[in-house]
Chain A
Amino acid sequence: MKDYTQNFVELIRRAATDLPVDMEGSLRKARDKEEEGSAAESAFDTLIKNVEMAREKSTPICQDTGTPIFEVTIPVGVSMRELTDYIRQACAIATERAYLRPNAVDPLTGKNSGDNTGEDYPTIHFYEGDDEAIKVELLLKGGGCENVSAQYKLPDSKLGAGRDLDGVRRVVLDSVYQAQGKGCAPGVLGVAIGGDRGSSYVKAKQQLLRPLADKNENAELAELEDRIMDEANQLGIGPMGFGGETTVLGVKVGTQHRLPACYFVSIAYMCWANRRAQMEINLNTQEVSYA
C-alpha cells in the first residue's frame, strides 16, 4: 500500500481549522434568531468571526483540538496495522504544524506525550466495506463538552423516565439542563439507546458524524430527534449559557440491541465546534478526495 500519511495530515488540518458547511450554516441561522444587541447574538457573532478567521489563517478553530477519533472503512485485505501507523504519524506531524494542540496525557505520570499519540490514542475504529476504497471519517471531540456528556440507566425514577422513548426524551433533556453552557453550547447531541456502557458511548459519538440534515430512517426516532431538539431549545440556555433561542443545533439518535437487564441512554455532547471531516482513497485510481 502507498504511504498515505500526508493525506491523513491534510484530513486533520481540514477538520481542525474549518467547520463543516452545515455546522457553520446552522450557526449563522441561529444568530439571526437572537434578539438584536443581545448577549446571545454577540456570542454567535464572535463564533462566526472566529471560524472565518481560523479558516483564512489555517489555525485551529478552538485551542482545544480534542481527541481525534478516526472511523475507517476498508476493503478486504487492506492492512489495518499499516493504516494505524500512517494515522499515528499524521497526528504527530499535525501537532508539529500546530493544527493540533498536544493533548495526549499519561494518566499515571501526568506527562503529555507532546505529539498526540499514546496508549490507545488517537482513537481508531476499523470496519470492512464492499468498495475498493478506504473511507475515513474524523471527529475532533473537545474536552469541555466531553466533561458534560452523560450516561443514564433506565428506569430513572427521579426523572420519571421509564424504558421507552419518552424515558429517553426525559433523560436527554435533563443532560442538556445539567450541561448548561459549560460544554460550549450550542451543542449537537449524539444519543445512543441500548448497548452496554462501553458500546453505548461509542454509538453516541458515531451519531455526531451524521450531517445535521440527515433524517433518521426510523420514523419514530426521527420524530424523537425533532421533539428533543425543539424542547431542548425551549430550555433557553443559549450560546455559552448566556440565555437565548438556540441551545442545541442538532439531535441524532441511534440504537443498539441491549441486555434484558440493562437500558442505557448515552448522550455525547459535542460543542458548537463540531469538527468532522471525511476522506476517500480510491484504491483503483489512487485518487484522494476530501469533504
Chain B
Amino acid sequence: MKPVFELNEVHYRYDQVAAVDGVSLQIETGTRVALLGANGSGKSTLLRMLDALYFPDSGTIQFQGEALTADRFEDDALAFSFRRRVGLVFQNPDVQLFNPTVFDEVAFAPLQMGWKKDEVLARVDLALRQMEIVELRNRPPHRLSGGEKKRVALASVLVLDPEVLLLDEPTAALDPRSQSQVIDLLIGWAGTGKTVITATHDLSVVEDTSDYCYVLNRGKVVSHGTPGLVLSNTQLLAQANLIHGHRHVHPGGVAHSHPHVHPHNHD
C-alpha cells in the first residue's frame, strides 16, 4: 500500500526562522506516529503542512501518492475530498471553536461538506456521544473548561470520521482526568486502520500512544524509530531538549532504566 504521507526535503520558513528545515519522512497507512520535539522545534508548522494549510517553500509532500500543492487546492472537489479525509485538531482550542454553540461547532465541518441535513444531525449526535459531551450541546464553546473545549475540538474533527488525524499537543494544558481521556482515545485507535499523527513533547505518553516516533530539533529530524528505541537514547533526547541532561536519584532509591517525566522544582 502507498504511504499516507511522503515528505521529501521539505523546507518552510517564517520571515526570520527556518521552522522546518529539510524534513524527509514517510508515514504508513494505519500507523500511530509521534512527532517529538521541544517547543519551537517545528511540530506545529509540519502538521499544518500535512493538513495542506501551508505549502512547502521547497521540497514535496505527497498524500497517498499525489503532491499537495497550492495550485491543486484551487480545485473545490479536491479540497473537499482532502478535508473530508484528513482532520487537524489545533493545539489551542480557542482558535478552533468559533461557533455560537457546541452543536453548531460540531456540525460546521459536515455542513461545509454539503451533507444532507439528516446525515449531519446523525453524525453530530454520534460525535457528541463519542466524546461524552451530549449535555454541552447548546452551550457556547468559549465558555467551557479547558478539558471540555478539547473534547469539543476533537468532536468537531472526529465528526467527519477522517482516515488521517493530526493532533497538535492533544494532552497539553489539560487536567489529569481529561488527559487520560485523550490518551485512552489514542490507545483505542491502535489497529483501527486510522493513521494518527501526534505532535507532542510529553515523553510519558509516547510509549502507549504511538507505533513509531520522529524526533525533531530546530526543524530537522534528528532521530526516528520505535518508541522503545527512541526513548532509550537519553543523550539524543537531551540534545533535543526533551529531557534534562542531569542524573538524579529518586527517594526510595528507585532506578529508572528509561527517561521519564517527573516534576522538577527549580525555584
A and B form one complex: no
A residues engaging B (CB < 8 A)? none
